[in-house]
């Protein structure tokens, strides 16, 4: 009995060796089948309509990774342009933030399609940049264009920015100064813009940071309502400058950006011959579906090329004062003049 543990150990060791030999001669089992990954989901154009293609996004490449630093009290965008959050009441939550590329949008103000239009026009510029922003507000597109142009090494820059609201006009001047642009070296104009020069009524707002939908009114009724049915107690007299007179000040315009709350078609119709001769790109905000179609028809008839387009979103409201009043989100059109500019 004294030798039993030893013999048991020997037998166990021989069994382990035998099992090892058998395992060595036995082919490994086939791995279980792996389910193939599903194909990437496709987005149906009927569900999502961004207004741009994957190829259009290439315009952002020269502007990636621009050195930027956060600034308290401001938002800094992908171009390094800073905007004080006090200018717009709805963006306080972004105070001190540095924003990434605006695809599909910048998270609060504008969509990729509008930036794509601006960057296409900057990339097509020929050593000098001249632009006009009609309905400028605080001047985001003027300052943004200047930042993009400077990044590409363009130093000869001239900005026109037309804004009627007195509070917004002060925002415009400060926004230019905050971004290294001397207003005296450019053409900020406190006025409304129209097909012809004249006078108009403009609603007086208590806090300009809260109001971004006003436009000039030729006549204000006794109800004190504006074009979308909002009531205002007080109104101001403002000058209207003619779009043709503005265009006459420069021999060539790289970009005309128009966002005037429903006057876009009448402005372009009045100045189309001058635009055909002088303007390389137009980026227009559209504030109702009829206006969107009217602009489309106008530029189509005059041989322009539609680079990008996204219609406005519309929500029917029985009893609304106007079509503009029922627009829940503005549309955008980007037009290139083939007589003056090749594709970016």
Per-residue tokens: 229 = 């049915």
Residue 13 pLDDT greater than 90, yes or no: no
Predicted structure pTM score: 0.85
**Boundaries of every domain in the chain:** 108-336
**259: Cα within 13 Å, side-chain hemisphere:** 25
34-43, 113-122, 287-296, 328-337: least confident range: 34-43
CA distance 302 to 279: 13
Write down the pLDDT at residue 30.
54
Across the range 191-210, mean pLDDT stands at: 93
A 10 A CB-CB count for 280 gives: 25
pLDDT band at 12 (very low <50, low <70, confident <90, very high): very low
pLDDT band at 222 (very low <50, low <70, confident <90, very high): confident
pLDDT band at 37 (very low <50, low <70, confident <90, very high): very low
Residue 35 pLDDT greater than 50, yes or no: no
- Point out which residues pair with 253 in neighbouring strands: 279
Per-residue tokens: 76 = 């800094």
Average pLDDT, the chain: 88
Residue 7 pLDDT greater than 50, yes or no: no
H-state helical runs in 26-123: 112-123
Query: Which tens digit of pLDDT belongs to each residue from 255-314?
Result: 999 999 888 999 999 999 999 999 999 999 999 999 999 999 999 999 999 999 999 998
Encode 200-234 in three state secondary structure. EEEECCCCHHHCCCCCCECCCCCCCECCCCCECCC
Write down the pLDDT at residue 5.
40
Residue 28 pLDDT greater than 60, yes or no: no
Query: Which tens digit of pLDDT belongs to each residue from 52-102?
Result: 999 999 999 999 989 999 999 999 999 999 999 999 999 999 999 999 999
Write down the pLDDT at residue 16.
53
According to CATH, what is the number of the domain 108-336? 3.40.50.150
Query: Which tens digit of pLDDT belongs to each residue from 136-150?
Result: 999 999 999 999 999
The pair phi, psi for residue 195, each rounded to 5°, is: -60, -30
pLDDT band at 25 (very low <50, low <70, confident <90, very high): very low
**Which residue, 330, 292, 262, is CA-closest to 111?**
330
């Amino acid at each position: 009995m004294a030798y039993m543990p030893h013999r048991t150990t020997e037998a166990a060791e021989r069994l382990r060796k035998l099992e090892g030999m058998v395992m060595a001669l036995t082919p490994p089992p086939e791995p279980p089948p792996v389910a193939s990954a599903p194909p990437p989901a496709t987005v149906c154009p009927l569900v999502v309509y961004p207004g741009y293609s994957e190829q259009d996004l290439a315009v952002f490449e020269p502007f990636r990774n621009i050195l930027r630093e956060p600034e308290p009290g401001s938002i800094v965008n992908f171009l390094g342009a800073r905007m004080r959050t006090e200018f717009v009441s709805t963006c306080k939550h972004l105070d001190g933030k540095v924003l990434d590329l605006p695809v599909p949008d910048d998270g609060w103000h504008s969509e990729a399609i509008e930036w794509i239009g601006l960057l296409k026009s900057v990339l097509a510029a020929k050593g000098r940049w001249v632009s006009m922003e009609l309905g400028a507000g605080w001047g985001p597109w003027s300052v943004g264009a200047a930042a993009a142009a400077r990044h590409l090494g363009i130093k000869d820059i001239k900005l026109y920015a037309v804004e009627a609201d007195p509070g917004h006009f002060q925002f415009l001047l400060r926004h230019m100064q905050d971004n290294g642009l001397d207003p005296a070296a450019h053409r900020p104009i406190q006025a409304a813009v129209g097909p012809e020069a004249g006078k108009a009524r403009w609603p007086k707002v208590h806090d300009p940071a809260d109001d971004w939908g006003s436009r000039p009114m030729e006549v204000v009724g006794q109800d004190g309502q504006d074009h979308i049915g909002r009531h205002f107690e007080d109104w101001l007299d403002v000058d209207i400058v003619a779009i043709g007179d503005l265009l006459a000040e420069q021999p060539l315009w790289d970009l005309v950006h128009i966002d005037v709350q429903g006057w876009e078609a009448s402005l372009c119709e009045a100045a189309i011959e001058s635009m055909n001769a002088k303007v390389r790109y137009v980026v227009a905000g559209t504030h109702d579906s009829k206006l969107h179609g009217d602009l489309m028809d106008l530029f189509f008839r005059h041989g322009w090329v539609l680079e990008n387009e996204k219609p406005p979103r519309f929500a029917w409201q029985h009893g609304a004062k106007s079509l503009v009043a029922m627009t829940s989100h503005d549309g955008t059109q980007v037009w290139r003049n083939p007589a003056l500019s090749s594709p970016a």
